[in-house]
A and B are shown apart, each in its own frame.
Chain A
Amino acid sequence: MKFTARVWKFGDNINTDLILPNVAFYLTPQEQIKYIFRANRPGWVDLVEPGDILIGGKNFGMGSSRPAARNLKNLGLACLVAHSINGLFYRNAVNFAFPAMECDGVEALFDEGDIAEVDFESGAVKNLRRGQILPARTIPPQLLKIVEAGGIFPLLEQEGLIAPKA
């Protein structure tokens, strides 16, 4: 897994209420994406292009267990690299197959709009404009298997443990 694309930067302590506010719970996944960061950065979702990369600060995805990682994936973002990722968000990222890695000091590596090259195999995060590289913590093998399978639901579906999505 390797992604090369433009980056969007968000700071420390981004919580999942910001990514998927309560009012969006009643909507379809395709409608839910319009609410991402509405409270802290209105209009942003319209600027995102498929494959863009999210850069976060400390404790990205803190707070509620809601499927915020799925919402970011549905928006078309390729992956997340943050200085640190909240444990619960990380579980959801693995389970919904939204690739996410922790990388110390990643915010300082990029200005918004820079092009990143993120390699999930080697854990290298590179700013193509500056030519600088930082090492990231790769996803442990047993969890990477879940990501590569497309997440928990496709796995359970293949085993005949949940019904295919209607």
Chain B
Amino acid sequence: MGMTIAEKILAAKGGRDVVRPGDIVTVEVDTVILFDNNFMPANWRDILTIRDPERIVVVMDHRVPAPNAMAAGAHVTARAFAQKFRIKRVHDVGYDQGISHQLVADLGYGIPGTVLVCSDSHTCSAGVFNCLARGVGGPDVFYSAIKGETWFRCGETVRYQLTGKLPKAVTTKDAFLQIAGKHGAHATMNVEYGGPGMASLSINARKTLTTMSAELSAEFATFEPDGVLIDWVRSRNSRPFEPVYPDDDAQYHDTREVDLSALEPLVAYPDTVVQNSRPVKDAAGTKIDQAYIGSCANGTLDDLELAAQVVVGRRVAPGVRFIVTPASQLVYREALKSGALEKLADAGAMIAPPTCGACGGGHMGVIGPDETCITATTRNFKGRMGDPSSKVYMGSPATVAASALTGYITDPREFLN
């Protein structure tokens, strides 16, 4: 009986021939990412030894540039830690800063067939690179950095078989909302993406699916490897690797087809992402105070260019705050050079520095009492982006941009056809 991608990596990294659902496996960890929240006073514990500084990455992303003295203090602690252990991969405010999951893509930190952990729940994002990555707890990260290993419980795997091609103005965010709306939570299970439809999707587009898999409560989200993926990693990281394909006779909990060509723009209604998606036209006309594009799910160059295409030559509706947050400094520079940021700024968008920002309700666009926001980020939990009485709808960057123009939730096909 064969294994899925997650099972094969767990087996290889755990020194076993076979891993099956239900097994608890101790695995070697190849990459450990620490980010600014780990260094906050309530979370930080002074580490006296680490296994291998080459395996560590330090990122300032949730609170940059520091919004207050405590966040600034956490950054000071992070820098001291990095210096003490001579960690080379440090992403401080400046040239190569970004949201950790975007840096993993920008710099090829997610290596096929390896294990990557970080105590941010969207770490499964790196699964787009055929990497076994997941968000763990703060203590897990300390443990992994110190000991070079951690434990995982293997769950069953649901396979999503992508077919067809996305219609214009429809994105993988809509594909995700379709999956989350129809199938709900995948708690204790892995998700695996593959199929002929993936060939038409860029890495950025695929990454939205693995990142958003955190919202399915999935354990691991992995993509089947292909040439596009292998080239992406090879051109960014010289480390050798072996991509991991699922066995032909792998056992899945279920295999579900997603026909990309049959999708339409969707939004998740406020307070939860799962089983809460509806066609944009159902929500059309809902008045908004803020439109936000950014995060580890939708702050890529593709996302910014799509939004720019929607708003080019137009102006944001009066009374609407349109905030755009590139996911990394690299994406920022690319979007500057491609002209996307110019089009967005000309339309009236405020371009924020790469940071988690208001995605996590931290800063740079937190919303107030009774306000409504439409967001292309990861989560719309009650109170997530600000006041508990605020309402957050979630859609694709195209839907958010179209809504910014009209001041109401709007189908992007009105502007892209």
Q: Which residues of chain A have a CB within 8 Å of any CB of chain B?
A: 13, 15, 17-18, 21-23, 25-29, 32, 38-40, 58-59, 62-67, 69, 84, 86-88, 91-92, 95-96, 140, 142-143, 151-153, 156, 160-163, 165-166
Q: Please tell me if B279 contacts chain A, counting CB pairs below 8 Å.
A: no
Given contacts A15-B381, A25-B40, A65-B120, contact A162 B361 (CB under 8 A): no
A–B complex contacts, Cβ < 8 Å, 7 sampled:
A23-B361, A29-B42, A63-B215, A65-B136, A65-B137, A161-B48, A161-B146
**Closest residue of A by beta carbon distance from B220:** A87
**Closest residue of A by beta carbon distance from B381:** A17
Minimum CB–CB distance for B357 against chain A, Å? 11
Given contacts A63-B379, A162-B47, contact A156 B185 (CB under 8 A): no
Cα distance, A62 to B41, chains bound together (Å): 24
Cα distance, A91 to B42, chains bound together (Å): 18
Q: Please tell me if B187 contacts chain A, counting CB pairs below 8 Å.
A: yes
Q: Please tell me if B46 contacts chain A, counting CB pairs below 8 Å.
A: yes
With a CB–CB cut-off of 8 A, which chain A residues contact B140?
A: 91, 95, 152
With a CB–CB cut-off of 8 A, which chain A residues contact B43?
A: 67
Interface centre among A27, A40, A87, A140 (most CB of B within 10 A): A87
Tell me whether B47 and A26 are in contact (CB under 8 A): no
Number of interface residues, chain B, beta carbon within 8 A? 49
Minimum CB–CB distance for A84 against chain B, Å? 6
Instruction: Name A13's contact: one of B37, B155, B185, B219 (CB within 8 Å).
Output: B185
With a CB–CB cut-off of 8 A, which chain A residues contact B187?
A: 58-59, 62, 84, 86-87
Q: Please tell me if B417 contacts chain A, counting CB pairs below 8 Å.
A: no
Tell me whether A62 and B217 are in contact (CB under 8 A): yes
Tell me whether A88 and B135 are in contact (CB under 8 A): yes
Tell me whether B383 and A65 are in contact (CB under 8 A): no
Q: Please tell me if B382 contacts chain A, counting CB pairs below 8 Å.
A: yes
Instruction: Name B272's contact: one of A13, A26, A153 (CB within 8 Å).
Output: A13
Instruction: Name A17's contact: one of B120, B214, B384 (CB within 8 Å).
Output: B384
Q: Please tell me if B188 contacts chain A, counting CB pairs below 8 Å.
A: yes
Cα distance, A92 to B136, chains bound together (Å): 8
Interface centre among B45, B47, B48, B134 (most CB of A within 10 A): B45
Given contacts A15-B381, A65-B137, A88-B136, contact A163 B46 (CB under 8 A): yes
**Closest residue of B by beta carbon distance from A142:** B24
Q: Please tell me if B160 contacts chain A, counting CB pairs below 8 Å.
A: no
Given contacts A13-B272, A88-B121, contact A22 B360 (CB under 8 A): yes
Q: Which residues of chain B have a CB within 8 Å of any CB of chain A?
A: 24, 37, 40-43, 45-49, 68, 70-71, 119-121, 134-140, 142-143, 146-147, 151, 153, 155, 185, 187-188, 214-215, 217, 219, 272, 274, 360-362, 379, 381-384, 388
Q: What are the 7 closest A-B residue pairs judged by CB atoms, nearest first?
A: A152-B139, A39-B388, A163-B46, A92-B137, A95-B139, A22-B361, A39-B383
With a CB–CB cut-off of 8 A, which chain A residues contact B71?
A: 26
Number of A-B contacts (CB under 8 A): 130
Given contacts A25-B37, A65-B119, A87-B188, contact A162 B70 (CB under 8 A): no
Tell me whether B142 and A152 are in contact (CB under 8 A): yes
**Closest residue of A by beta carbon distance from B272:** A13
With a CB–CB cut-off of 8 A, which chain B residues contact A69?
A: 137
Cα distance, A62 to B143, chains bound together (Å): 22
With a CB–CB cut-off of 8 A, which chain A residues contact B188?
A: 84, 87
Cα distance, A153 to B41, chains bound together (Å): 15
Tell me whether B135 and A161 are in contact (CB under 8 A): no
Interface centre among A18, A63, A153 (most CB of B within 10 A): A63
With a CB–CB cut-off of 8 A, which chain B residues contact A86?
A: 187, 217
Tell me whether A96 and B362 are in contact (CB under 8 A): no
Minimum CB–CB distance for B164 against chain A, Å? 30
With a CB–CB cut-off of 8 A, which chain A residues contact B24?
A: 140, 142-143
Minimum CB–CB distance for B52 against chain A, Å? 14
Cα distance, A153 to B139, chains bound together (Å): 7
Tell me whether A28 and B137 are in contact (CB under 8 A): no
Cα distance, A106 to B388, chains bound together (Å): 29
Cα distance, A152 to B138, chains bound together (Å): 10
Given contacts A86-B187, A160-B48, A161-B146, contact A17 B40 (CB under 8 A): no
Cα distance, A86 to B187, chains bound together (Å): 6
Tell me whether B388 and A65 are in contact (CB under 8 A): no
Minimum CB–CB distance for B360 against chain A, Å? 6
Cα distance, A5 to B271, chains bound together (Å): 32
Minimum CB–CB distance for B270 against chain A, Å? 12
**Closest residue of A by beta carbon distance from B46:** A163
Given contacts A13-B274, A39-B382, A156-B142, contact A65 B121 (CB under 8 A): yes
For the complex with contacts A17-B381, A40-B382, 18 further pairs of A-B residues with Cβ separation under 8 Å are A18-B383, A21-B361, A25-B42, A26-B71, A58-B187, A59-B217, A63-B381, A87-B153, A91-B136, A95-B140, A95-B143, A96-B139, A142-B151, A152-B142, A152-B143, A156-B142, A162-B47, A162-B142
With a CB–CB cut-off of 8 A, which chain B residues contact A21?
A: 361, 383
Minimum CB–CB distance for A101 against chain B, Å? 14
Minimum CB–CB distance for A115 against chain B, Å? 29
With a CB–CB cut-off of 8 A, which chain A residues contact B121?
A: 63-65, 88
Tell me whether A62 and B185 are in contact (CB under 8 A): yes
Minimum CB–CB distance for B156 against chain A, Å? 12
